[in-house]
Amino acid sequence: MIIIMQTQATPEQVRAVEDEIQRIGLRPFINPGVERKVIAVLGALDAKKADLVEHFYSFPGVERVDLISHLWKLASREYHPEDSIVEVAGLKVGAGRVIIAAGPCSVESEAQMVEIAIKVKESGAHMLRGGAFKPRTSPYAFQGLGEEGLKILTKARQVTELPVVTEVMDSHEVDLVAKYADLLQIGTRNMQNYPLLKKVGATSHPVLLKRGQGCKIRDLLMSAEYIIAEGNANVILCERGITTFEDSTRSTTDINAVPVLKHWTHLPVMVDPSHATGDWRYVTSVSKAAVAAGADGLLVEVHNDPPRALSDGPQSLRPEKFDTLMSQVRRVAEAVDRSV
Ligand code: PEP
Ligand code: MN
């Protein structure tokens, strides 16, 4: 349920509604920073919903009381009708310009990371990606450089002045990764790791939440709700391909997810064409499709020497190919009244 206050409602009237919500054992959550106060009522509402709607409607200063049809409340468009803009070190995601994050799957060395960072910046990327803590399917595969990788990312950021997105895998490592990262990535395997979601929700760091390979769009939004309910509304969603019966590509890009998410939620939506296809040959096509469908950004794997990459070489673009991707995506963005 959401309670929409009149624009001229006084702070005392808002307070009285909040107090009443608490008195009946529920939790008020105010959408901060908007002119008209909208109060979400969180908690287990029982069968008396209709009575509650009438009850709150009678409070002074209340304009309307609506039931939110979806299970996610704070992530819903009903609660927050305007698009949310998430700021990542001054870079605005969701503000109309398509934001491109690019870089290797894993941080392997300073020379590798800095070289790729300079190249993707020259092509016009806005953000750097690179994993220091790597969630690998096999325990025998390269697991990432850990904190050393985070330090290398800091160096690449110094050289290029691009903000950095990197994955945090464990709730005990959130503080460590947040010291170095501008945007905390939650990987597909951790989308439903609720202690981790709560932990990043307790920070004020922006979060890139990737969709679980076997999870519905609804599940993704419920996971976003976990983060926002802890007080951190800086959430960017990422469609990164799902598991289907189709096995000609690593995953199947659910392009539908882009307009569905834009309809159901106010949160910005990015697409990762690299993990979604698993093959560099398809990455540029899917990037263009994602931007045409309304994505607010892309997360693209780029490597200076893909055959020798320690992870995800087959899906990594060489810098020259990434340059082509950027110029093609720019034209698609213009065609749909966006910029890059
Ligand atoms: C990654 O971005 O390198 C990654 C591991 O992504 P995902 O969690 O989507 O597989
Ligand atoms: Mn990868």
pTM here?
A: 0.95
Residue nearest to atom 3 of ligand 1 (CA): 105
Dist. CA 265–CA 74, nearest whole Å? 9
List beta partners, residue 131.
106
- Per-residue model confidence (pLDDT) at position 32: 63
The DSSP secondary-structure symbol of 211 reads P
The atom of ligand 1 lying closest to the CA of 311 is 3
Which of helix, strand or coil describes residue 102?
A: strand
Residue nearest to atom 10 of ligand 1 (CA): 188
Ligand 1 pocket test: pick from 127, 240, 316 the residue with the most ligand atoms within 8 Å of its Cβ.
Answer: 240
- Per-residue model confidence (pLDDT) at position 288: 98
Size of the chain, expressed as the number of residues it contains: 340
- Per-residue model confidence (pLDDT) at position 97: 98
Does ligand 1 lie within 6 Å of residue 210's CB atom?
yes
- Per-residue model confidence (pLDDT) at position 98: 98
Q: Is 211 in contact with 235 (CB distance < 8 Å)?
A: no
Considering only CA atoms, which of 83, 167, 179, 89 is closest in space to residue 126?
Answer: 89
- Per-residue model confidence (pLDDT) at position 46: 66
Distance (angstroms) between ligand 1 centre and the Cα of 275 equals: 7
Does ligand 1 lie within 6 Å of residue 135's CB atom?
yes
Distance (angstroms) between ligand 2 centre and the Cα of 141 equals: 12
Q: Is 277 in contact with 316 (CB distance < 8 Å)?
A: no
pLDDT tens column, 122-174: 999 999 999 999 999 999 999 999 999 999 999 999 999 999 999 999 999 99
Does ligand 1 lie within 6 Å of residue 131's CB atom?
yes
Q: How many Å separate Cα 152 from the centre of its chain?
A: 23
Residue nearest to atom 4 of ligand 1 (CA): 187
Considering only CA atoms, which of 216, 331, 307, 265 is closest in space to residue 70?
Answer: 265
Mean pLDDT, 10 residues at a time, the chain of 340 residues: 92 96 93 79 77 94 91 93 96 98 98 98 98 94 96 98 98 98 98 98 98 98 97 98 98 98 98 98 98 98 98 98 98 97
Q: Is 270 in contact with 237 (CB distance < 8 Å)?
A: yes
Does ligand 1 lie within 6 Å of residue 73's CB atom?
no
Distance (angstroms) between ligand 2 centre and the Cα of 106 equals: 7
Does ligand 1 lie within 6 Å of residue 188's CB atom?
yes
The atom of ligand 1 lying closest to the CA of 185 is 2
Residue nearest to atom 6 of ligand 1 (CA): 187
Distance (angstroms) between ligand 2 centre and the Cα of 156 equals: 18
> Which ligand ends up closest to the CA of 253?
1
Tell me which H or E stretch contains 217. Answer: helix 217-229
Ligand 1 pocket test: pick from 129, 170, 183, 275 the residue with the most ligand atoms within 8 Å of its Cβ.
Answer: 275
Dist. CA 288–CA 236, nearest whole Å? 19
